[in-house]
Amino acid sequence: MGFVRATAELLDTGRREIMTASFESLAHRERDGLVAFARGMLADGHEAEDAAQEALLRLYRTWGRAENPRAFLYKTIANLCIDRLRQRSVLPPAGDPSISGSGNAAAAQGETARPELDERAAAVRAAIEELPPDERAAVLLKEVERLSYAEIASTLDATVTQVTNWIHRGKNRLRRKLAPYMEEGKRP
């Protein structure tokens, strides 16, 4: 029966390799989008990297069982970010070293230290931060991932009507907050 054992081992090895290879392929494709989404949600480059990593690890643990791995990934990261935002609301804000414009953190992210860029980035960041978590998640899933309202509803366990309202309110808030900076941007 040694051969049965060998066969089972081959099968098991094959399974692990398929899993690993296919997971890495997806992780490679999705990682930047996850980081961008989390960066918008958390306004913190390092926390965003952490959240993306955590979402990918959670997917890896369930790999092969999720029917739609990408949906799983976005649901997970949306929840992770919303949880972190809620934790923050009971904790003093940590501040964002990556966008503050202070030299070291900006350099660590490869940012050029142009004050005008920092000012606009800070304005966008502040405008996004003012959105309640659900609005923020819905707007970012739309803008980063280009998901449909129905897909966003499924990702956030909400109704399409809720998502429609969140995005309507959220985008209009952003438009109003960012209008002054757009005028500036139009100047040559």
Site for other proteins in 129-188 (CB under 8 A): 139-140, 142-144, 148-149, 164, 167-168, 171-172, 174-175, 177-179, 181-182, 185
Report if residue 65 touches other proteins, rule: CB under 8 A.
yes
- The structure tokens 């998640």 sit at 137
- Residues touching other proteins, count (CB under 8 A): 72
User: 120 and 112 in contact (C-beta within 8 Å)?
Assistant: no
3-state SS track over 102-143: CHHHHHHCCCCCCHHHHHHHHHHHHHHHCCCHHHHHHHHHHH
Quote the least distance from Cβ 79 to other proteins, whole Å.
18
Among 64, 95, 103, 119, binds other proteins (CB under 8 A): 64
Which of the 8 DSSP states describes residue 45?
A: H
- The structure tokens 């606009």 sit at 120
Which residue stretch of 59-67, 71-79, 80-88, 89-97 sits at the interface with other proteins (rule: CB under 8 A)?
Answer: 59-67
The burial of 128, by beta-carbon neighbours within 10 Å (0-12 exposed, 13-18 middle, 19 or more buried), is given as buried
Toward other proteins, which CB reaches closer, 28 or 91? 28
Which of the 8 DSSP states describes residue 99?
A: T
User: 157 and 168 in contact (C-beta within 8 Å)?
Assistant: no
Please provide the size of the chain in residues: 188
Toward other proteins, which CB reaches closer, 67 or 92? 67
Toward other proteins, which CB reaches closer, 9 or 157? 9
Report if residue 102 touches other proteins, rule: CB under 8 A.
no
User: Per-residue contact track with other proteins, 16 to 45, x per CB under 8 A?
Assistant: -xxxxxxxxxxxx--x---xxx-xx----x
